[in-house]
Structure 1
Amino acid sequence: MVVPVVAIGVLVTVAVVAAGERVLEYRSPASHLVLETIDACVAVLVSYLVYGRFQRSGSRQDLLLLQGLAFLGVANAGLVLTLARSNSVEALGLWLPPPLRVLGTLLIAAAALLPARSVRTTTRRWALPPIAGVVLVFVVVLLWLGDRLPRASELGDGVGLPLASSTHAGLLVAQVVTLTGFAAAAVAFTIQARERDDVLLRWLGPACALGALARLIYLIFPSNGADWFYSGDVLRTGCYLLLLIGAGREISRYWSAQAEAAVAEDRRRMAREMHDGILQELAYIRSELAAVASVDEARAGRIAAAGDRALDEARHLLVALGRAADEPLADAVERAVEQIAQRYGVALRLELDASVAADSAQRHALVRIAREAALNAVRHGGAERVGIRLGEDGEGRYLEVSDDGTGFEPERRTAKEPGFGLISMRERAAALPGTFRIDSRPGGGTEVTVRW
């Protein structure tokens, strides 16, 4: 994201410098007012959203970031005052934004450069009052100075003025400081975005880069008039729009995390209910069969086998409910087949490539296929060794389950007596979408292969 945004910003800056005058320059108080309003609203909105993030994290970085954005928002709002005709208000609108903008930029740079640290709980409650206090002090001081401050008419409107023609050193210093602060923040946030999985940081880097380029244009072609609209304003608004996009992505991720947490909690609740209810009842039924086995031993054996299968499935569901939603496919497959191997005393041979990935629906289907194939090998094939392979080759990803059991004739079994397990595996494989193949012969073991 940083490279294309910076490339576009650099091209615009080079075009402005090469032209020797402002690109898109024209006198439009209404357009300038619209952009200032957009910038102010976005800065205040993003600072409010970062405030919520700060309340959750307690991070010093978030605290400095929200305060810096708040100062920038107030500075942009203050520029609207330059459209007023009162001398005192005009001076306030001209001289209030620069110090607030410098302070906001320095706070953002500090958020990017200072080491990560948590702040005290009491500090979280007092994150916003200092902003209002500082703004109030600036306003009082500027109103007190009043007519002693230079007016815009005395500085010149700045139209077409090169850097050397600027008439007030204070404004140039403010531009240099904000340019340096945004540039440092852009570099620092970009480096942090590579090291941390943080959506907002990924957008702060390019946003600060555009802010730095906008300040560069303002520095080369300073303007003290509020009636003029030109390319520097476009880059500055682009900076705030990128901040808005980053804040939107942050909100989206937050609510996604909340939904995932709610689902995980519901899964844990279901797992507790299953453990305390269904599993206990199944275990009781299985234990009571011993008392009636003498009446009809064959039927009792079939019921006991069904009870074992039900207990096995219930335990598998219990483990699945407690499993993390983003568990790697290799770990999920290994966990499922190891349970079977331990229960039935089967030797396992695992060749699982941890880099093979699958989404949650595919992972569930593949684990069920691996489990069903391993159970069939033990229950119907009498296998003593089961091999599981998970990998990727030129034809795609694959899952292979092989055994040394008695085997069978797949064509005859499918035509005359289609087992539900085979049908289930075939349907799950088709839904991946993928292909299902079973190779077996009497006395030669069985190999089940799924490709997707």
Structure 2
Amino acid sequence: MAPRFWEWLRGRKPLVDAFLVAPVLVLVFPVLLGNGPDLSGNRYVAVTAALLVPMVLRRTFPRTVFAVVAAVSFVQWALHIPVLPANIAILMGIYTVTAGCAFRWGVATALIGELGTLMATLRYPVDANDRKFTFLAMTAVVAGVWILGLHMRTRRAYLRSVEERAERLERERDAEVQMAMAAERGRIARELHDVIAHNVSVIVVQADGASYAINTDVVRARQALETISSTGRLALGEMRRLLGVLREDDDAGEYAPQPGVAQLDDLVEQLRASGLSVTMGVDGSPAAMSEGRQLTVFRIVQEALTNTLKHGGLRVSAHVRLCYAGDTVEIRVVDDGRGAAAVNDGRGHGLVGMRERAAVYGGSVRAAPRPGGGFEVVARIPVREAA
């Protein structure tokens, strides 16, 4: 309730300013009504009203209100009307202009206030000994009000800069979050491409084989259908795991671990079951690699063999070789398929995904048709971070 009230009150400056002028009225009326006919005349009431009524708009039109108050004070001085409690409006005007307007306007109001101090000291009867003291005292009051207004102006500028900086940092944070989300979605898109392209290719090949063999070799057709079933379940499981990270406030349970180098044998066996002739060899001692690097190796091999299965043609064979040499593992996938003669529809993201995965760990990928036929993919991945 309180925050709403202050928010409502902040948008109604005249009401707040009128409330702040009310204490001055407490000082004005006893003076006007209790000091005899000299101060209770109509002109004194008129001057008091002319000084205080504009204060209701002092923050809405600060310079205009100060100009009006200064003009009324000058008329008061010209008519020999003595200083009234309502003349505090001059000090309020100096403070408001200094705190809310440009610095030059604050200096101008202070000089006008000082001029009024000098004029009042010279016009109104004061003992010669006290005149100097009165002038210095009134000067100190004007200077103090001006310094207070200047301090509030500086403080408000500082608070505005802090709020702007906080808003800018919040926008930058939101932008960084959006960039991180976009990068993560790109990674998930590559993962989904690998999963869908590989497993659907296996399913299509097996379905074609089953359709040809269903009338002549029921056993092979049944094996093909079983491969389709297991491959479909595997694809669904991996897709659920990848899409589960996009769900908010959803308890998806424990996810399966990411595939790595140890799962390459299973990948090769799966492709052999689908009809692709694949061999695999390893040179050197396998080095310890992080899960991310192992996933990158697995996906590169998977993508390369999937492309062989899709574009290599009939009776194509492939060979996978991992070579561990020093701090680098080299992945070489070679096939004897169509090579440069393979049809490219231009819609695939496999090669781009392989290059992006390798670049994450400072590696590289080269993919090109082989002279004399076939296709070759060569990737080099550092097995550990450079010192």
TM-score between the two structures when normalised by the length of structure 2: 0.34
Task: State TM-score, norm by structure 1.
Answer: 0.30
Over alpha carbons, which structure has the higher Rg? 2
Higher relative contact order, chain-length normalized (CA < 8 Å, sep 6+): 1
